[in-house]
Structure formats: structure tokens, C-alpha cells
Amino acid sequence: MPAESATSSPVRQPVAGQNQQPEIHLSHRWKWSSQQAISFLMQQGVENPDVISLAAGLVDPASLPVAETRQAVQELLAVPARGRQALQYGTTAGVEPLRRQLVQHLARLENVEPDSLGITPQQIVVTTGSQQLLSVLSEILFDPGDICLVAAPTYFVYLGVLEGVGARAVPVQTDNDGMRMDDLERQLGLLEQAGELDRVRMIYVVSSYENPSGVSLSADRREQLVEISRRWSRENRILVLEDAAYRELRYDGPELPSVWSFDRDRSSVILAQTFSKSFAPGLRVGFGVLPQELVAPFCDRKGNEDFGSASFCQHLLAQVLAQGQYQSHVEEVRRACRIKRDALLQAAEQYLAPLEGVSWLQPHGGLYVWATVPEHISTGFDSPLFQHAVQQTGVMYVPGELFYAGEPAGRRRCQMRLSFGVEEPDTIREGIRRLAESIRAITSYQSVTSYQSVTS
């Protein structure tokens, strides 16, 4: 929660000489967005290039679609009029050829005919990655102090977005089926008792292969979530933001219906999707399906930012979807990522299983494995384990505490996110071996120091 009391006027330094300028005033928005962990993580990656990264949430580099993209660019530019259109500004909500293709794309994912989706292309907004959708949406929905319920743990960059608009993220407990609906109702009840129900704007869920835990919201809970959001919508509508970033990266396990599909009149759930994971993050194309009455407010705000995401990338993606190579490419990405996931899980069996108190979840998709070490071992950036892993054995992970909303004191500190997207299978195995070495080193160091402190 940002400091409500933060002063809006800068503390100005006395002007001592001609060359000395008064301080630059920075806004509350900046203060609320400063010191995000993502910057520290990126910096660690750059400063330690030899370290094996089980931290970066990047997609498999080898399966990036160079050939498909080359063909699409050539076709796009083969007809000068089309080329010029792609090189011109587009519209704020997104270019028409892509929005039309997106209706077909969504229908395929939902396993229905396009006509049965119950939406028009006008309800689809195209954004610069789905990150921009999350960010612009949060700007139009939250005033400082408004509330968003989130899973504990959840996507930490979105927690940063909420902080950046002054919103309060209230954590909801999870288990192996995702956000617990009994705890969601309990939290809503507590907020009602505190007279704060009217500040609740949204419930945010990463429905499939959550970043970081890899778990998916079960089908039952998807339906319940929509029902709960409606039942608790009293003074204002409580929306659900379904972040389906990893939806297409399914390796095994059932294909689940979207939360959005249970919102029959398309009034409560916002569906956020992206082509970053299934095609190419460098294109930065994401999209959202919004309730009708949110489209204009969304475009008002997005208009202030960019009056339209890169038109060229949108035309390119429309071409990719039209030329029919998208599906086979996604199959290829799934195949490559499944191999990497299996490499990580096999290495975990080999190297982590023998360590007492170490466990992990087995994801059916996505890019992450969520691991837990004994409660007394902290995994944070300044912990002995993180330092040892980066400096001694040469492996990096993302500390689990970053993924929890709420007061730092209440966060679990003994977990970590292990990504299998970037490194090759052999390197992933070596990374897990090194991680096990660091955990073993810290465990024995801690038992020696506690033995010494008891005996001295």
C-alpha cells in the first residue's frame, strides 16, 4: 500500500550556485512504482552472465518462429498498399484485420463456433503485450485505496501494477486447485464487516498454470468464481480479471474451460490473453475481451498512452493467423517446453528429493515449477541461500516472497520459482544440481551455527 501521507510537494534544496538546480519533483505514481523487484532481477542476470538462469520467465529461444515471421513479413509487404497500411498508424482499440482474426482464434480456444462466442470484434482490444492490458485496466478501475483480491501467490509484476495505481491487493489462500473459493468468500466477508466491500473492484486470477505456482484453477472453481463475484456485487460490480497468459502452453492434463466462458452475458469477466508465450514476445501483442461498457473507458486511457499499439506487429500477427502456421507452431512450442519441464522434474527427483523438507509442484503447463525448502531457510534476495546460489554454485531463481501480496511480515519466505523456459534441458539439470548443492550447504551451515550458538 503506498504511503497515503506522501507529500505532493518536493523538498527543494537551496540554490547555492548558478549550476545547481532545484530537485526534480517526482509524482506519487512514481513513488508507488519505484524499487520493483523485476529491475533487480534483470540487473542480477546482466551482472552474472555465467549463472544458470532458472529465474528468467522467458520463452524457449530455440523455438521462436523466425521462418513463420519472415514469411508473414514478406507477404505483408508484397502488396504495397497492404504494406503501407501496416506501416501507418492504426486505431486505439487495434487494427480490424487482427480483431477479426482474434474472434476466430478465441472461438478455437473456447471450442465453439465464432457466432456462439456472444461478442463482436468491437469488444476485443489489442494491447502492447497483455501487460499493457493489465496496466491500463487497473488505471481505469482503481482509485488509491480501492481493493483487488489476488491469489497467494500470484504474478508479482501485477502486484507491482496494483501498487503503482495505489490499489490494495488482498491475498486469498490457494491450494493445488488454485484460488480457494472458501477463502475468497471469507475475505469478502471480512471486507464487508470492515465496511470496505464498496472498495472491492476486482478479483485477479491467472487461471491456467499460474505464474509462479504452475497450478490451474479447477473447472468447478472457475464457475464458482463468476457466481461469487456476482453475488458479492452489491454497491458496485466486482469484476474478474482472468489472466490466461499461459493457456496455450498445455503439456498434459485436462483442457479446462475459461472462467470467461461461465460469464454467460459477458458482463463480469475480462479475459486477458497474449501471443508472447505461444508465438513471440518480441512482437508485444496481447489482447483483451472486455464487457461492452468498458471498451470506451479503456480506449480513452489507452489513447493517452499510445493511441494504438504497433500497427505493423498487429498486421503481422493477423497474417500469421491467416496463413495457418500458428497452430503447428504452438504444437512445436509445447513439444519443446514439455521436454524442458520433464528435464527439470527429473532433475528435481534426482537432486532435490533426497534433501529433507524440500518439495515442489508438478505443473501440467506453463513455464514454472514452484519449490519449497524447509521453513527455516529463507530464499530472499539478501538470504544466504540466494547469495550462495548466485555467487558460489552459479544458479539463479526468483524468491517466492515476491509473489505474495500483503504485509511483508505475513509472507512465506521459504519458496522459489524455477523457470524452465530459457535454458537447454542439460543446463536445467545442471542448474537443479547446483541449487541442491546450495541448499545442502546452507542447511549444514545453519545446523553448525545453531549447534555452536547452543554450545557457546
* Binding stretches for ligand PLP (CB under 6 A): 57, 129-131, 155, 206, 211, 243, 245, 274, 276, 281, 286
Q: 449-452 — which CB contacts under 8 Å span 24+ positions?
A: none
d(CA 423, CA 149): 34
Write out the DSSP string of 163-230: HHTT-EEEEEEEETTEE-HHHHHHHHHHHHHTT-GGGEEEEEEE-SS-TTT-----HHHHHHHHHHHH
CB-nearer residue toward ligand PLP: 130 or 325: 130
CB-nearer residue toward ligand PLP: 272 or 395: 272
Least separation in angstroms between CB 17 and ligand PLP? 46
CB atoms within 10 A of CB 16: 7
Least separation in angstroms between CB 421 and ligand PLP? 10
Least separation in angstroms between CB 270 and ligand PLP? 13
Least separation in angstroms between CB 144 and ligand PLP? 23
Least separation in angstroms between CB 367 and ligand PLP? 8
Least separation in angstroms between CB 165 and ligand PLP? 16
CB-nearer residue toward ligand PLP: 153 or 166: 153
CB-nearer residue toward ligand PLP: 287 or 386: 287
Q: How many residues does the structure list for the chain? A: 456
CB-nearer residue toward ligand PLP: 211 or 415: 211
The CA–CA distances, whole Å, from 11 to 7, 8, 25, 275, 423 equal: 9, 10, 8, 45, 47
Least separation in angstroms between CB 128 and ligand PLP? 7
For the record, the C-alpha cell of 191 comes out as 471486507
CB-nearer residue toward ligand PLP: 53 or 438: 53
Measured between its terminal Cα atoms, the distance across the chain in Å is 43
CB-nearer residue toward ligand PLP: 287 or 360: 287
Least separation in angstroms between CB 57 and ligand PLP? 5
d(CA 21, CA 3): 27
Of all residues in the shown chain, the one whose CB is closest to ligand PLP is 129
Least separation in angstroms between CB 249 and ligand PLP? 11
d(CA 191, CA 196): 5
For Cα atoms 147, 148, 154, give the angle at the middle one, nearest 5 degrees.
145
- The DSSP call for residue 282 is G
Residue 393, Cβ density class (10 Å: 0-12 exposed, 13-18 middle, ≥19 buried): buried
Under 8 Å between Cβ of 97 and 318? yes
Who's near 341: CB < 8 A, 6+ residues apart?
251, 363, 369, 420
For the record, the C-alpha cell of 74 comes out as 514478406
Least separation in angstroms between CB 131 and ligand PLP? 3
CB-nearer residue toward ligand PLP: 151 or 299: 151
Under 8 Å between Cβ of 258 and 246? no
Who's near 187: CB < 8 A, 6+ residues apart?
149, 170, 172
CB-nearer residue toward ligand PLP: 247 or 434: 247
CB-nearer residue toward ligand PLP: 213 or 276: 276
Alpha helices by DSSP H, 111-172: 129-141, 156-164
